[in-house]
DNA sequence: CGTCCACAGGAATCCCTGGGTT
DNA sequence: AACCCAGGGATTCCTGTGGACG
């Protein structure tokens, strides 16, 4: 009978634990734009105040928006785009491109006086002048191949279709710094001064970036044009993050009671440490919830949040290392092998000699030291390595390289690669300190 | 105080891929 | 088929440099 009793309890337990915590995880995704944007009222008003000239039939000033990642820049701009289009009475349209990559559901056309277009572009994906112009051209119904044409032809086609009728085009360039990176600020220059050549159409640009130094590297002419209006998004503090997270948590969970009281504050505190990144807070919360569900826990607890914090970092490392090109893997592996002997920092030269041996052993192509130097810098930017330029006086200048992630873990992931596996038995020549 | 190491890192160029036009 | 074009990775050639050593 005791047995019976127990199994009945278990039955309920099981039923209860089968009920999931989340009912809608969508709202926790980065791509989701909520209707309410807490603690961004001021920024919304600022942007709106500039764009209001649309209603007076004027061309709004160009806007430059900057702030760290996860401070709501993109969300605010999209939000306003939506509101703007709604107000004018336009209809949202979405368009699937041939590469069916971007479906901009917040771009819009109205038929009031003349059409207003609100176009959102993420320059992380559309990151060269050719691609940007081609993409813009596509919006206006031009069919431009993904590659092949000379750029000036792409520009001309874009320009002439744009100017075919009277219209106002607001172009949002998110992650605009990507366009500058490696190369041409030509597009920006052309786009910012396109108005002087246009007869019918008008263009205004909203540039978004999280790179605060970005402006300094801009061509002065572009800078002054793009920065007609500047709007700064300060990082959220822990309290503000709590508000944001609470709002989303309510939407995503079956019941707010499934969340321990410490959970939201803890997520927010962690995120606040990382320059107030709201995305981070959302990620932490989502992963914590997923972990809770996985272990059939009825509630999300602070323990889950702490686990989530590790989990996210681990996942990132595994993902990044796993998808590295083979040359980068070989370089990283060289660093790992050397790290044992020189934990205080490895030099580029040392890495290169080991790397060369590894290449021979795995019959890979040997790249030049110049290139390896760049690869090391790339790994540094990914946070997998820490490379600092130091001068050792009489003994030259070099990068002092350390591991940026746990060695054993990185090693394990690298050795999943067949080519790396083949060189796993290699032992670097013994280094001696001076 | 000047030298000189061991590279850093910029610039021009090449090579290759995927796609165009004639 | 012959030739042009953009863009990304790589090479070649190069000038620049912080500071310990002598």
**Strand ranges across the sheet with A229-233:** A116-122, A168-174, A202-209, A63-67, A229-233
Please give the model's pTM, rounded to 2 decimal places: 0.85
* pLDDT tens, chain A, 434 aa long: 445 555 666 666 655 555 678 888 888 998 888 888 999 999 999 999 999 888 888 899 999 999 999 999 999 998 898 888 777 765 555 554 443 344 454 555 555 567 888 888 889 888 898 999 999 998 888 888 989 999 999 999 999 999 998 888 999 999 998 888 766 678 888 888 899 999 999 999 999 998 877 777 788 888 888 888 999 999 999 999 999 999 999 998 888 888 899 999 999 999 999 889 999 999 999 999 999 988 888 889 999 999 999 999 999 999 999 999 999 999 999 999 999 888 788 999 999 999 999 999 999 999 999 999 999 999 999 999 999 999 999 999 999 999 999 999 999 999 999 999 999 999 888 654 43
Find and list the nucleotides of strand C having atoms within 7 Å of a protein beta carbon.
Answer: 4-8, 10-13, 16-21
The contacts of residue A31 (CB under 8 Å, 6+ apart) are none
DSSP conformation class of A146: S
Which residues of the protein are close to the nucleic strand C, CB under 7 angstroms?
A: A 127-131, 147-152, 182-184, 325, 327, 365-368, 370-371, 374-375, 391-397
Distance A150 CA to C4 C1' (A): 9
Find and list the nucleotides of strand B having atoms within 7 Å of a protein beta carbon.
Answer: 3-11, 18-21
Nearest to A328, CA basis, from A306, A303, A358: A358
Q: What whole-number distance in Å separates Cα of residue A250 and Cα of residue A34?
A: 12
H helical segments located in A193-277:
220-226, 238-252, 263-273
Distance A283 CA to B15 C1' (A): 43
Look-up of token digits 């992380």: A124
Q: Which domains does chain A have, with CATH numbers?
A: 17-22+236-321 (1.10.8.60), 41-233 (3.40.50.300), 324-433 (1.10.10.10)
The tokens for A237 are: 């503090």
Distance A378 CA to B18 C1' (A): 26
Nearest to A59, CA basis, from A157, A198, A173, A158: A198
Distance A185 CA to B13 C1' (A): 21
Distance A401 CA to C20 C1' (A): 21
The nucleotide minimizing the C1' distance to residue A394's CA is C20
Q: A356-374 burial by CB neighbour count: b if 16+ within 10 A, else e?
A: bbbbeebebebbeeeebbe
């Amino acid at each position: 009978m005791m047995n019976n009793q127990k199994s009945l309890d278990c039955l309920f337990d099981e039923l209860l634990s089968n009920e999931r915590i989340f009912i809608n995880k969508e709202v926790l995704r980065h791509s989701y734009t909520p209707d309410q944007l807490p603690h961004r009222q001021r920024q919304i008003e600022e942007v709106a105040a500039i764009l209001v000239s649309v209603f007076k039939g004027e061309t709004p000033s160009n806007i430059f928006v900057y702030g760290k990642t996860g401070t709501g820049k993109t969300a605010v701009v999209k939000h306003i785009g939506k509101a703007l289009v709604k107000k004018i009475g336009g209809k949202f349209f979405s368009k699937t491109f041939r590469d069916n990559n971007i479906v901009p559901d917040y771009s819009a056309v109205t038929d009031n006086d003349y059409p207003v277009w609100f176009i959102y572009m993420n320059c992380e994906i559309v990151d060269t002048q050719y691609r940007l112009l081609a993409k813009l051209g596509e919006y206006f119904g031009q069919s431009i191949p993904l590659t092949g044409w000379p750029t000036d032809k792409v520009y001309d086609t874009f320009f002439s279709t744009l100017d075919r009728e009277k219209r106002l085009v607001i172009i949002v360039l998110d992650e605009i710094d990507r366009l500058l990176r490696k190369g041409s600020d030509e597009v920006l220059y052309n786009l910012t001064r396109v108005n002087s050549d246009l007869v019918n159409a008008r263009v205004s640009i909203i540039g978004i970036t999280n790179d605060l130094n970005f402006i300094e590297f801009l061509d002065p002419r572009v800078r002054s044009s793009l920065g007609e209006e500047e709007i700064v998004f300060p990082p959220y503090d822990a309290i503000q993050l709590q508000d944001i997270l609470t709002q989303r948590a309510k939407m995503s969970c079956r019941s707010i009671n499934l969340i321990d009281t410490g959970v939201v504050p803890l997520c927010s505190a962690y995120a606040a440490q990382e320059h107030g990144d709201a995305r981070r807070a959302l990620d932490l919360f989502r992963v914590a919830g997923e972990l809770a569900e996985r272990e059939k826990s009825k509630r999300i607890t602070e323990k889950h949040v702490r686990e989530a914090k590790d989990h996210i970092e681990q996942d990132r490392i595994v993902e990044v290392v796993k998808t590295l090109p083979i040359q980068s893997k070989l370089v990283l592996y060289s660093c790992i092998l050397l790290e044992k002997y020189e934990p205080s920092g490895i030099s580029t030269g040392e890495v290169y000699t080991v790397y060369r041996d590894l290449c021979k052993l795995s019959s890979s192509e040997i790249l030049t030291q110049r290139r390896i130097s760049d690869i090391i810098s790339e790994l540094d930017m990914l946070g997998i390595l820490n490379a600092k330029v130091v001068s050792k006086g009489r003994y030259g200048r070099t990068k002092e390289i350390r591991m940026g992630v746990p060695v054993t873990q990185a090693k394990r992931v690298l050795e999943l690669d067949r080519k790396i596996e083949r060189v796993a038995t290699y032992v670097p020549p013994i280094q001696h300190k001076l």
